[in-house]
Structure formats: C-alpha cells, structure tokens
C-alpha cells in the first residue's frame, strides 16, 4: 500500500467500483511512503449517504491510510488531519481552494516513514528536531463552500509545497488544527441541523374543534413524547402547552435528585461545566418511570462548579475509575455524589470527559444513550429508536461482560437492525456519521424557565441563546459508526455490501 504500484492498483480498483455504481469517488493526491519522487493522483471513495455535497470528512481515506481509526465506534477527526485555508498560515485572505492533509501521526515499527515527506523537509536550527510522518499522506482539495473537488495535475506542485510548509512543531500543528472551531472542515453550511415535524393541520384560520386551549390543556398530559414534540410545530397555543408539559416531565424525573426549586440553578451550573444530562434519566422522561440515578457528562476539567453546587445541597463526593465497557476511553474521571434522603440514598454520577461532553455521549455502546439534555435543548442522534424505546448495540460489545455494579439497560436492546421495516436513510448503522451538521440529529427546544414572553413562531425551534449553551452540539468534531455491516434488508448499504467488499477495504 506504500509503493507507487500498490497505490495506483488500489486507485484502479476503486475506479472499477465507481464504474460498477457501487460508490462515488473524487480525485485526491497521495504522497506514498515508499513512492518518491512522485505524488500520485488517485480515486478516493465518498462515504455512502454523502454523495450530493461531500466534505473532506466524508471521504474514505482508510483506503490509503492504515489504522486511521477504529472500524466501528468513535473517531476524533481533529487528530487525523488539518485544513489549510490560508497560505502562508495566518495570512488574512483565504485562498480560492482549501487543502486538507490527512496523515497518521503515530509511529509504528510495521509502518514505514514517509520518504516523500522526508525529501521535502529542510533542517535548520529553527526547525530541529524535525518531525516524521509515517505511512501515506492524503491531500484533499475543497472549494470555499466546503465541497470537495478533483485534484488536477497542475495542483501537484502546490500540494507538495503545502506539505513541505506544514508546521514541524507540535504547537504550530495544534494551532492549525484548532484554528477554527469547525475543526478540520470548511463547511457547506453553518446552519444547525434539526428535524422538525410538519403538522397535519387544517387552516390556522379554521382550526379543528379539538384545537382549543382548554381541551388541549387536558389532553397534553396524556400525550406520548413523540406527539408532544410534534405539537411544538403547531400554531398557538400548542407549542406553549407542549413546552410546559415537557418542563413538568423533566422536573418530575429530576426531583428525585435535585429539589425542584434548585433545578433551574442546576442547569445553570451544567452550562458552566459545558455538560448535559445523559444516561438512564433520559428514557425516564419518555416513559414517566423513575430513573435509577442521574448521570451528567461534563467538559474536561469543568467539574468544580458542579462540586460546589452539589456540596451545598448536602451531597458527599467520591472518585471512581471509569467503566471502560460503557464509556471507552472518553472519560478521564468519574465523580459520584451521594446523599441520604430518609431511608434511601440518591446518587448523581458525573462523567468528566477527557475532551468535551459530546464524546462521552457518542462513545456509549448503546444508541439508546446517545441523547442529551441541556438547559435549552433536548437532543437525540437516534430519535426514531428513542421514541420506540429501542436501542442498537455497538458491534463487538458483550453485555454479559458488564460489571455487576452496572445496571442493565432499561430499553429494548437489539444486536442489529434486521427488524427495521423501512430504509435506514441517515440512521444506517454502517455509515460514518459526523457531529458537524449531522442530518440525523433531532433537537427540540425547551427552557428550564418559563418563556411566556417568547414569540410564538420560535416555539420548538432552535433558540436564540448564548452560544455557550449550544456548545455541546457544535464543539468537538467526531465521527462514529455502530456496525460494519447493515442488516436492514430495505437498506441499499446492505444490498451492496458484498459487492463493495470485492473492491473496497473495510
């Protein structure tokens, strides 16, 4: 995979897959580890589902980079490459095209140093010691709008110059990765992705007789959560009544742990910690059952405000080791808060992330736990399953190996999606989804405090709030996949799986 012959052979195979209608491709540049002095223009597949407007993070660079990340689970995309939009770095004007450089930054005795990269470096007193890159380097070309486009022959010399100019010091490289909070990508759109349900209503001028405040107010407490969410998009007074009922249900689920009068402050503190309510308490809001405990995910080293708040409420804190079977390597520390109320002890568990809280949410082995509650929004990455109280399991996860201290999931757990009756769409477990502008994320507005003064058209829509309150959904650039193979007979990714296996590495 490192020589010119092997790289071009892989490109030809991918081209054949494209000709057979198995995948879409784009032309990129590869600097082979053992292919100097030539950089090569090759075909790179686009992840299924992203063919219309592919971004640099939507390309299957694994075809040319070994061990770029796990085959299932979560990948942190900011660690696999950088996006160069100005040249020289830091110039005030963006170039016509941006260039994304993907590489493997870990050494491995089985992976050769990139001799093409070594041949471009110039050792001086200012740059010594020089960094080495192992394995191949993949360079992707994108427009200013963020859509990938084909690398042309005339681009090769510029690409080599950009790779040569890539920072040799770790601090400079890190600054380039985090230069924009969008991380690696140049976005096609900055809109926040949400799912909204269109109400099957008559004309607002002549609403259905049942759609009156007094009647609706008595019906709303009996609504299933999915119907309550749909009501957010109806004309007044539906959204106001829906959000009031949502607030009542959330407070009901939390009051076991936090006194109702302190719940608004609890969410204020949660915002300070860049965190969210996660775990078993979330399905408790759907079924109105009492949750076993309250789990919160907090940003890296952001637990101090939560410590102070819960200590004031009488909680005692202890530190535990993370349960890797549940949260992988995303959690750096677990703070457990306990308080005796009468004859029982209530518990709040804070999962302190090594990065941002979202990585804790997505590294759960269950889709049923990929939900989060902040002070302004309720979000779910698998809303259809959430409303059905179902969950898929991460490939390779063994439920029987959970420690006895961990309670089993309260949702219906399925090993795969073979029971689905419709096409998967964006929720296909065999497709790499990305947190940035994810089309499957459903976010529903609520407010921990009554918003009676808010204009009716904004009910149920993404709120105009402090951006820090929405940092959970926009911060960390992650990619995740639940399974290598889809089991839904109605999904094209299952139908084409065997054919793709003949051409593409998996």
β pairing state of 316-320 and 97-104? unpaired
Q: Which residues of 442-455 are buried (b: 16+ CB within 10 A; e: fewer)?
A: bbbbbbbeebeebe
Which tokens hold the place of 504?
A: 């593409």
CA-based R_g, the chain, Å: 25
Positions of the chain with pLDDT under 50:
168-183, 185-205, 453-463
Q: What is the pLDDT of residues 14-63, one digit of tens each?
A: 999 999 999 999 999 999 989 888 899 999 999 999 999 999 999 999 99
What is the Cα–Cα distance from 257 to 227, expressed in whole angstroms? 27
Is 60 in contact with 45 (CB distance < 8 Å)? yes
Domain limits of the chain? 4-190, 213-398+436-474
DSSP letter (8 states) at residue 108 = B
At residue 272, the pLDDT reads 93
- Tokens representing 69 are 């990340």
Res 201: pLDDT: 39
**Inter-residue long-range contacts of 343-348, CB under 8 Å, 24+ positions, other chains counted:** 346/256, 346/257, 346/293, 346/294, 347/257, 347/293, 347/294, 348/257, 348/293, 348/294, 348/295, 348/296, 348/310, 348/315
In sequence order, which residues have a C-beta less than 8 Å from that of residue 247 and are 6 or more positions away?
Answer: 446, 447, 448, 450
- Give the Cα separation of 502 and 504 in Å (integer): 6
Report DSSP state, residue 234: S
415-423 contacts at long range (C-beta below 8 A, 24 or more positions apart): 416/392, 416/483, 416/487, 417/392, 417/486, 417/487, 417/488, 418/487, 418/488, 418/489, 420/488, 420/490, 420/491, 421/490, 422/490, 423/488, 423/490, 423/491, 423/492
Q: Are 417 and 385 in contact (CB under 8 A)?
A: no
How far apart are the C-alpha atoms of 263 and 278, rounded to whole Å?
16
SS (H, E, C) 442-501: EEEECCCCCCCCCCHHHCCCCCCCCHHHHHHHHCCCEEEECCCCCCCCCCHHHHCHHHHH
Looking at residue 209, its pLDDT comes to: 54
Name which of 477, 476, 493, 376 is nearest 58 in CA terms: 477
pTM of the complete model beyond 0.75: yes
User: Structure tokens of 435?
Assistant: 């947190």
Helix, strand, or coil here: 241? helix
Question: Are the C-beta atoms of 46 and 25 separated by less than 8 Å?
Answer: yes
What pLDDT is attached to residue 23? 95
Q: Burial of 138 by CB count in 10 Å (0-12 exposed, 13-18 middle, 19+ buried)?
A: buried
E strand intervals along 13-94: 25-31, 40-45, 73-76, 81-84
DSSP 3-state assignment of 119?
Answer: helix
Three-state DSSP class for residue 244:
helix
How big is the CA angle at 264 (ends 458 and 241), to the nearest 5 degrees? 40
Q: Is the dihedral of CA 162, 70, 191, 174 positive or negative?
A: negative
């Amino acid at each position: 995979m490192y020589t010119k012959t092997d790289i071009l052979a892989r490109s030809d195979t991918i081209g054949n897959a494209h000709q057979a209608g198995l995948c879409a491709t784009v032309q990129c540049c590869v600097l082979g580890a053992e292919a100097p002095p030539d950089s090569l223009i090759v075909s790179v597949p686009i992840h299924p589902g992203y063919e219309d407007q592919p971004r640099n993070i939507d390309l299957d660079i694994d075809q040319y980079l070994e061990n770029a990340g796990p085959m299932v689970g979560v990948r942190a995309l900011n660690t696999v490459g950088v996006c160069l939009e100005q040249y020289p770095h830091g110039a005030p004007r963006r170039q016509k095209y941006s260039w994304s450089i993907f590489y493997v930054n870990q050494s491995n005795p089985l992976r050769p140093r990139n001799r093409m990269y070594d041949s471009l470096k110039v050792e001086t007193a200012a740059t010594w010691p020089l960094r080495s890159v192992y394995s191949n380097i993949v360079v992707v070309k994108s427009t200013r709008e963020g859509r990938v486009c084909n690398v042309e022959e005339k681009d090769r010399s510029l690409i080599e110059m950009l790779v040569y100019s890539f920072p040799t010091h770790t601090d400079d490289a890190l600054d380039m990765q985090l230069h924009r909070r969008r991380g690696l990508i140049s976005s096609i759109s900055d809109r926040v992705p949400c799912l909204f349900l269109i109400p099957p209503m008559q004309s607002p001028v002549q609403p259905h007789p049942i759609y009156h405040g007094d009647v609706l107010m008595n019906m709303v407490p009996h609504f299933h959560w999915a119907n309550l969410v749909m009501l957010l998009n109806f004309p007044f007074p539906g959204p106001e009544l829906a959000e009031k009922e949502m607030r009542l249900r959330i407070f009901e689920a939390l009051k076991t742990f936090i006194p109702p009068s302190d719940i608004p402050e609890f969410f204020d503190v949660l915002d300070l910690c860049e965190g969210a309510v996660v775990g078993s308490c979330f399905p408790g809001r759907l079924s109105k059952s009492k949750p076993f405990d309250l789990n919160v995910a907090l940003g890296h080293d952001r637990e101090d405000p939560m410590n102070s708040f819960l200590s004031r409420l009488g909680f005692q804190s202890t530190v535990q080791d993370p349960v890797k079977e549940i949260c992988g390597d995303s959690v750096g520390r677990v703070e457990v808060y306990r308080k005796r109320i009468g004859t029982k002890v209530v518990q709040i568990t804070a999962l302190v992330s090594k990065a941002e809280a979202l990585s804790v949410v997505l590294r759960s082995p269950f889709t049923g736990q990929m939900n989060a509650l902040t002070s302004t929004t309720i979000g779910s990455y698998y809303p259809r399953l959430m409303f059905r109280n179902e969950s898929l399991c991460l490939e390779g996860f063994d439920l029987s190996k959970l420690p006895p201290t961990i309670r089993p999931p309260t949702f219906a757990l399925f090993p795969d999606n073979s029971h689905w009756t419709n096409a998967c769409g964006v929720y296909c477990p065999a497709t790499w989804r990305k947190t940035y502008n994810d089309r499957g994320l459903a976010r529903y507005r609520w407010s921990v405090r009554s918003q009676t003064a808010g204009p009716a058209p904004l009910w149920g829509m993404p709120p105009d709030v402090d951006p820090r309150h929405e940092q959970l959904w926009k911060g960390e650039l992650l990619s995740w996949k639940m399974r290598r193979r889809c089991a839904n007979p109605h999904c094209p990714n299952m139908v084409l799986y065997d054919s793709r296996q003949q051409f593409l590495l998996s």
